[in-house]
Amino acid sequence: MNLCDVKVVKRLMSKYSTGTKKSFGQNFLINRQIPISIAEESYSYHKSACPNGEAAVIEIGPGIGCLTNELCDCYDRVVAVEIDPTLIPILGETLQEYTNVTVINEDFLKLDLDSFIKEQLGDVSVSVCANLPYYITTPIVMKLLEQARRQDGKSRLTSITVMVQKEVADRLCATEKSGDYGAISASIAYYGRAVKLFDVEPTNFLPAPKVTSSVIRIELYQEPIYSVKSEKMLFRVIEGAFAQRRKTLINSISSVFSSISKAKISEIITKLGFDINIRGEKLSIQDFCSIADEFYGELE
Domain regions of the chain by residue span: 6-220, 231-299
Chain-wide mean pLDDT for the chain?
92
Residue 210 has pLDDT above 90, yes or no: no
Label residue 151 by pLDDT band (50, 70, 90): confident
Label residue 293 by pLDDT band (50, 70, 90): very high
Q: What is the pLDDT of residue 83?
A: 93
CATH no. of 231-299: 1.10.8.100
Q: What is the pLDDT of residue 85?
A: 93
The helix/strand/coil state of 274 is coil
Instruction: Please give the residue that has the higher pLDDT: either 21 or 227.
Output: 227
Residue 276 has pLDDT above 90, yes or no: yes
Helix (H) or strand (E) holding 128: strand 125-131
Percent of residues, the chain, with pLDDT higher than 90: 77
Q: What is the pLDDT of residue 20?
A: 57
Q: What is the pLDDT of residue 297?
A: 78
List, for residues 35-91, the tens digit of each pLDDT value.
999 999 999 999 999 999 999 999 999 999 999 999 999 999 999 999 999 999 999
Residue 121 has pLDDT above 80, yes or no: yes
Label residue 21 by pLDDT band (50, 70, 90): low
Q: What is the pLDDT of residue 16?
A: 86
Strands 77-81 and 101-104: parallel
Label residue 134 by pLDDT band (50, 70, 90): confident
Label residue 258 by pLDDT band (50, 70, 90): confident
Homologous superfamily, domain 6-220: Vaccinia Virus protein VP39 (3.40.50.150)
Label residue 186 by pLDDT band (50, 70, 90): very high
Whole-angstrom distance, CA of residue 141 vs CA of residue 168: 11
Q: What is the pLDDT of residue 150?
A: 84
| C-alpha Rg value of the chain to the nearest Å | 21
Q: Quick one: average pLDDT of 189-207?
A: 94
Alpha-helix runs per DSSP H in the chain: 6-15, 33-49, 66-74, 88-94, 113-120, 137-146, 166-172, 183-191, 231-241, 249-254, 262-271, 285-299
Q: What is the pLDDT of residue 19?
A: 61
Whole-angstrom distance, CA of residue 37 vs CA of residue 31: 11
pTM of the model: 0.93
Q: Quick one: average pLDDT of 191-198?
A: 97
Q: What is the pLDDT of residue 22?
A: 52
Q: Quick one: average pLDDT of 205-224?
A: 92
